[in-house]
Structure 1
Amino acid sequence: MAQPYYLSGNLAPVPDEIDAHDLAVTGELPAELTGRYFRNGPNPRPGEDPGHWFTGHGMLHGVRLRDGRAEWYRNRWVRTKKFTDDAPFVGEGGVDLAAVSANTHVVRHSGRILALVENGFPYEVTPELDTVGPVDFGGRLTTAMTAHPKEDPVTGELHFFGYGFFPPYLTYHRLSAAGELVESRRIDVPGSTMMHDFAVTEHHLLWLDLPMVFRLERGGMPYAWEDDYGARIGVTPRAGGPTRWFEVDPCYVFHVGNAWEDADGRIVLNAARYTRDRFTALWGRIGGAEDPAVSAAASGVAVLHRWTLDPATGVVKEEALDDRGVEFPTFNESLLGRRSRYLYTVADDGVVKYDQRDGDSQVRKTGGDTGEAVFVPAEGATGEDEGWLLSVVTRGDASELLVLDARDLSDVASVRLPRRVPAGFHGSWLGEE
């Protein structure tokens, strides 16, 4: 019997944990790229079938760069209660927010490295990828934590949210720059939806309340598209106050780019947007659908899209910014919540850079399965795109950590990795503190 899509090709998991040292480098690694690149993604243990790509155990892949050398590669499963004890997420005692896969993202805030998944607590890990344990911020966090928190570059605060199966369906949280949970605020929504990402501007929080709706009786990954739920974007003042909702055309969004307020007070949001048909095709595919028509329809399904929300008039303008299939938008996060010019996305076999001021784009073909391109600013940079992009690229059974010049997408260096790194989700560059 053929393996399901999520256990085959470059989604197929690797069977073990390894260490390798003194990795081969092509080109010249910039000396100031001294730190660690970490990437997270699902990786079931040998013989396991999690039933969906999104539910495999989290595995972190790490590369240590220092002074122009690639000192080591290592990969480690995140040892959650689900991994070590086979603990159920929902049991007799209710929901166990520590019994999760921690398989989606890895970030650092206030010196703490956190492996994230949106249905439970984050797990702290060490710089060598060993698991410390679940984090609930001194017992103050009582909901899940999104895999896409946003660190304000001015205040150093970390904004995030949790969604759940039962009321309150959506809760906003804020960590201080020192890592203390200082605010939790309920956001009223009509039901439980799969809210994967959100956006933050200088003065607002933006919520994507879209029609991937939870129903307990579905089992497995208990979400499916429901036309009747509708689609809307919520705008909540960061300082407090009611949420204003803008109805939008039905769609789904996994990942936003950036958002900001323009000179006229309008709110601009860019994201990778899926139509109903293309999203449901993708959802079937990563959930194990074997219909060839479904697989074909799921290729390159999201396009770069913009919403402009006008609080003064209540009007929202929608526009597609391109027609090519892209995902995983990234940018220079020193401009998070403020107007930014450049956006980097990943297509089937390369990186696409968008100039959001002039409407131009550049494409860098990689000839392989290309992971999210993480932007790392150069020290003392005077230009927004002065820095590098780091991406794991896989061709067959060989993977590399590719370093591109973010200005023109030209090659800077490549680190040969000792094994294939399966397709995964998100990564971060953790420079020396």
Structure 2
Amino acid sequence: MNTHTPARFDPTRVPHLLGSFAPVTEEVDVADLEVTGELPAALEGLYLRNGPNPRFTPIGSYLYPIDGDGMLHGVWLDGGRARYRNRFVRTPALEAEEQVGHALWGGLESLLVPDAAQVGPDLAGTFRDLPDVNVVRHAGRMLALAESACPFRIDAGLGTVGREDFGGSLPAGITAHPKTDPVTGEMVVFCYAFEPPYLTWSVIGRDGAVTRGPTPVDGVDEPMMIHDMALTDRYAVLVLAPAFFDLDAAMAGGSFLAWRPERGTRVALIPRDGGRLRWAADEAFWLWHTVNAYDDDGAGGDDGAGGDADADAPVVLDYVQWSRLTVGGGPDGAAGPVGGGLVRARIDPAAGSMTRTVLDDSRVEFPRVDDRRIGRRHRHTALATGTGRTDLLPGEYDAVRWYDTETGSASVWPAGNLSVGEPVFAPEPGRDSEEQGYWLTFATDRTDGSSWFLVIPAEDPASGPVARARIPVRVPLGLHGCWLPTEP
């Protein structure tokens, strides 16, 4: 491993350490937020977002969106009022760095790690934990999630409990985007690794017990990066784009991720009942995030909502597509334009083929649906999007877009000087419709650095927020969050 700081790294020139992405270090509590408009009194719960936020100035390298300490930002809603708290996810590496007052670990691309004289024998030569991507609640556990490692358990006040390995059943951890079946309550997870088995999947039951331990996905013989997954009534769906880890290149000062488009993109359909794995393949594309997936018998009847679909019925997968990997490097140094858009893939399990249709060619990311529709047909997809401004940083968006799968139409709320984050759906209690609820997100004003919690009505989202709560600290842009209604 490297034990020195590469001189060429200059954090002041890294876009994702600047502007609306710049980290904050203050942890604050505010009991009653200033609100413009009226917060829906029916919404009671916690809007919680996790994201990369280096506690100290990075050394060696910094690769957004993977590097950085996790920071949780929470807005609690109750009776039309809001309170706020933010907290770092307190990993052993963060606590070791706090003791000396500066960074000791470099970013993933630098492979810079401290020695025993700096951090003691237990942490010497180890990579830092990075639970900075997502946060979920399942079976009473609130989990801050890393790209592919053990999550960290968080308590109700956003304090860090510690590393979570599910009673030793998932010692390698999980990735940042597990999917919870709203009907069965199961959470389906996957994990990739640098050594065989390179890809595994597991199931955690409604009660939090692991009901299927790490199960290898046959046919994966190299370490690959897979950020997200999807779920249907029958399958766990994994998209294997040709993004391969190359540790030899990283040790030689190159990128630790290699984009190899000649290998194409494969989709693994993993039967949740343990049946035969199905594969489909197509030309190379990259995705960060799926929207949703469902089984489709073509008759408009069973849609994966618990019925007996034909074993060979197609799988429909909606996702945000990119023409190539948008992080790390490749043979061309990741130069040139990157195409993207909202895409629907129709996958034939029997033929091993897939057809792709562009639903919306706008520049979009961070897609979300009503989580109650995961694995079933959905109508509305919310996404962060751009209005065409040329002064935004990579990964920065200044509008929210909603796509309607029934009509094929889209509506947009331009956010003006606000840079917006991922929209998350909060349903009205007791209502089942995707139009009966609100879309929640953080946004930061590019002119003065102020941050806001926005509440946008699902019935007419293009009309913009019905309420804005002023956040007492700037909330750095990215990444993922959730709405956690108050549990009875």
Same fold (TM over 0.5): yes
Aligned length: 421
Cα shift readout 1:20-76 (whole Å, capped 9, x = no counterpart): 221111111111211111111111123334521221111111111111001x21211
Over 3 Å counting, the alpha-carbon distance change for 1:283 and 1:369 in structure 2 is farther
Please, which runs of 5 or more residues in structure 1 have no aligned partner? 285-290
Show the counterpart of 1:430: 484
Show the counterpart of 1:137: 166
**Which residue, 318, 323, 326 being the options, matches 1:275?**
323
**Which residue, 413, 426, 433 being the options, matches 1:383?**
433
1:240-319 paired onto structure 2 within 5 Å? 240-264=274-298, 265-276=313-324, 279-280=325-326, 283=328, 297=337, 301-319=339-357
Cα shift readout 1:254-313 (whole Å, capped 9, x = no counterpart): 10001001123211000000002xx34x546xxxxxx9x96x946xx5310111012243
1:116-155 paired onto structure 2 within 5 Å? 116-155=145-184
Opposite residue 361 of structure 1, the aligned amino acid is A
Opposite residue 318 of structure 1, the aligned amino acid is R
Tell me whether 1:339 sits opposite 2:377 in the alignment.
Answer: yes
**Which residue, 339, 361, 383 being the options, matches 1:323?**
361
Opposite residue 243 of structure 1, the aligned amino acid is L
- 1:382 Cα offset (Å): 4.1
Indicate the RMSD between aligned Cα atoms, in angstroms.
2.6
Show the counterpart of 1:229: 263
Cα shift readout 1:112-131 (whole Å, capped 9, x = no counterpart): 11000122101011121110
Show the counterpart of 1:287: none
Deviates more, 1:42-51 or 1:382-391: 42-51
Opposite residue 42 of structure 1, the aligned amino acid is P
Structure of greater Rg: 2
Separation in 2 of the partners of 1:97 and 1:343? 40
Over 3 Å counting, the alpha-carbon distance change for 1:110 and 1:98 in structure 2 is farther
Please, which runs of 5 or more residues in structure 2 have no aligned partner? 1-9, 98-103, 114-120, 299-312, 386-396
Tell me whether 1:199 sits opposite 2:230 in the alignment.
Answer: yes
- Higher strand proportion (structure 1 or 2): 1
Separation in 1 of the partners of 2:95 and 2:349? 49
Does structure 2 conserve the Cα–Cα contact (< 8 Å) formed by 1:196 and 1:255? yes
Separation in 2 of the partners of 1:168 and 1:14? 38
Separation in 1 of the partners of 2:282 and 2:364? 21
Separation in 2 of the partners of 1:339 and 1:308? 13
Cα shift readout 1:383-430 (whole Å, capped 9, x = no counterpart): 222110001011121110000001211322111111211112101111
Cα shift readout 1:294-347 (whole Å, capped 9, x = no counterpart): 6x946xx53101110122433311111111100011001111101111111111
Show the counterpart of 2:451: 399
- 1:96 Cα offset (Å): 9.7
Opposite residue 27 of structure 1, the aligned amino acid is G
% identical equivalent positions: 40
**Which residue, 267, 273, 276 being the options, matches 1:239?**
273
Opposite residue 395 of structure 1, the aligned amino acid is D
Deviates more, 1:101-110 or 1:239-248: 239-248
Does structure 1 conserve the Cα–Cα contact (< 8 Å) formed by 2:436 and 2:459? yes
Separation in 2 of the partners of 1:193 and 1:108? 27
- 1:93 Cα offset (Å): 9.2
